[in-house]
Structure 1
Amino acid sequence: MSIPTARSIDVRGLLTDHSLEMTGKDVPHLLEARTSIPQGTRINVTFLENEDLRVRIRAARTVRDLGFVPVPHISARRFDSEAMLEEYLGALQADGAVDHVFAVGGDPATPHGPYGDALSVIASGVLQRYGVRSASIAGYPDGHPDISEAELWAALTDKAAALHEQGLAGGIITQFGFDVDPVIAWVEEVRRRGITLPIRVGVPGPAGIRRLVRYASRFGIGTSAGIAKKYGFSITNLVGTAGPDKFIGELAERLDPGLHGGVKLHFYTFGGLGATSSWITDRQKEAQR
């Protein structure tokens, strides 16, 4: 689907300096897709329960070796001890892959060790001791199924303040969504609260429709019918692939740099790094026509 020329400059701006996400086991896919990814692209490396330290470090090292910027995830509640976190940060530092991290609470309902949330990691001062210069934090425009809205806003405000107090640069990466309305409202509320950190809006890369609906359901992001209506596919036909054309086009139309500040895109590559990178390249070419 072509993006209308009337908003092509805005779309190009959104697609420029995008970031990507991969798992530790995606290294072969990254190697295959490397020529389609611009040098210097930020690539987040997730912290999955079924991947060990060796897998995560290898992924971050490969990102760096290929000329991209590794952003390893620090999943606070998954660390059994301070020593485990320091081992991870030390290994990243030894490989020159620790400048930027993404600090997040993580999935476990009960912390495995001393860190109950991302704030406790940021406030501890351990990140700077191992050379971290910038820490991104999570944002939830569609809310969180297990955390109240008031708690989410308090956590975001406290984490932004802690980054400033610790002398760390940072940014906000949001959970992926399908509806522009809550994203715009959320960004405006972030700015109203005086939080000036740059924001990367989470976007699902092109992927199978069934997979998109499954992930959205898992994270409590709307109903299947609502997703279909906003994202532009039919809930009666879940065969095929859907891309974020409609979402990005509407987001570009509605963003106002003077009001919303710095906003970029972060792609969750459910359909694969190669498919997402090719999709971005194609849309950039369309936007130049």
Structure 2
Amino acid sequence: MTTPLIHPGWAQPATNMVTGYSLEMTAKDIGSLRAAAPAIRPTAPVAVTFLPNEDPAARIAAVKAVRDLGFEPMPHFSARRIGSAGAFEDYLAAAVAEAGVKRCFVIAGDPSTPEGPFTDSMALIASGAFERHGIAAIGVGGHPEGHPNMSEEQGFAILEAKCAEIVARGMAPLVVTQFAFDAGRVLSWLAALRARGTDAPVRIGIPGPAGIKTLLRFAARCGVGASTAVLAKYGISVGKLFGSAGPDRLVDELDRGLGPEHGPVRLHFYPFGGLEKTVAWINGYDRAHRSRAPERTV
């Protein structure tokens, strides 16, 4: 499957692993985004999550803040949390009209019973709403460390079907993975994805620096599993839950392991410890590696 690139920057060599990064935020993080904005790279994609019990107006305000601060907004759409087709269209139309949104991210969402007519993210893609509103790119989820409700084979098959449907509708697919602790599993998953013929750009989910308890809490909530050995390799000791951990080892291992066979890859940061702390870590990594690392083509 041949797919267009999401952004011209993907076609340029990356100086190091954090070149071309993207970020994630919630509707409550506008203040944090404003505080971190001077240190965030211009035009960086910033995803705005779709959490329960949020006012849609708050999500639109966050999406608009991303655009107003000079970044590229990518609002989430959680299929099972959308109450009606009208609510879906209204939110999408407002995001386009008020923030010039060109890319969106779709997920099924956590509820076992849909709150409206959409049972999964494919239902949103197949509705035709995104292309009607001029959306150019659609992000879909990938799960290198597995999904609690499906086998690896099912995960790949569903991901491939979504990418094919997005391409058929004249848009560009982008895969954004759940955050992971295990670089080896991420690399194996990427190699398998490419071997099956999916060449869509992939953003690997990276947990930003945060307290160890915070990281483990989000991991449990998101279904990310890791053995004691993997956590220790990442820098987390289950016997010492105080203190913080950053993604240095994970990113370094990805840097060493990624090759042309893994296709176009960038990083997507989940700032569990806060946007300012995550952006500071990214810029520190960039400074430390920019002068000595050879150019990458991932």
Q: Same fold (TM over 0.5)?
A: yes
Conserved 8 A contact 2:138-2:166: yes
Of 207, 211, 222, 1:204 maps to 207
Residue aligning to 1:5: none
Q: Secondary structure at the match of 1:194?
A: coil
Residue from 69, 74, 85 that aligns with 1:66: 69
Query: Matched residues in 2 for 1:248 and 1:12: separation?
Result: 14
Q: 2:217 aligns with which of 214, 219, 241?
A: 214
RMSD (CA atoms): 1.4
Within the alignment, does 1:131 sit opposite 2:134 as a pair?
A: yes
Shift of 1:66: 0.3
Q: Which SS does the other structure have where 2:163 is aligned?
A: helix
Of residues 28, 31, 39, the one that matches 1:28 is 31
CA–CA separation in structure 1 for the residues paired with 2:89 and 2:188: 38
Write out per-residue CA displacement over residues 35-84 of structure 1, whole angstroms, 9 at most, x where no aligned residue: 01011000000000121111000000000000000000011111111111
Where does structure 1 lack aligned partners over 5 or more consecutive residues? 1-9
Pick one of 277, 280, 286 that aligns with 1:278: 280
Contact 2:63 2:99 (8 Å CA) reproduced: no
Cα distance in 2 for partners of 1:154, 1:68 equals 33
* Separation (CA, whole Å) in 2 of partners of 1:194 and 1:259: 11
Deviations 1:253-273 (CA, angstroms, capped at 9, x unpaired): 0000x2111010000010010
Which residue is equivalent to 1:243?
A: 246
Q: Does 1:90 align with 2:87?
A: no
Unaligned runs of 5+ in 2: 1-12, 292-298
Take 1:47 and 1:98, find their aligned partners in 2: how far apart are those partners?
15
Q: Is 1:260 paired with 2:262?
A: yes
Q: Paired residue for 1:163?
A: 166
Partner of residue 290, structure 2:
288
2:191 corresponding residue in structure 1: 188
2:224 aligned partner, one-letter code: I
Indicate conservation of the 8 Å contact 1:42/1:68, yes or no: yes
Supply the distance in 2 between the matched residues of 1:193 and 1:187 (Cα, whole angstroms): 10
Q: Tell me the TM-score normalized by structure 1.
A: 0.93
Residue 11 (structure 1) shift? 8.4
Structure-2-length-normalised TM-score:
0.90
1:152 corresponding residue in structure 2:
155
Q: In the TM superposition, what is the alpha-carbon distance from 1:14 to its structure 2 partner?
A: 1.7
Cα distance in 2 for residues equivalent to 1:81 and 1:16: 39
1:146 Cα deviation from its structure 2 partner: 2.3
Instruction: Say how many residue pairs are matched.
Output: 279
Percent identity (aligned): 44
Residues 65-104 of structure 1: per-residue CA shift (max 9 Å, x gap): 0000000001111111111100101111111332010011
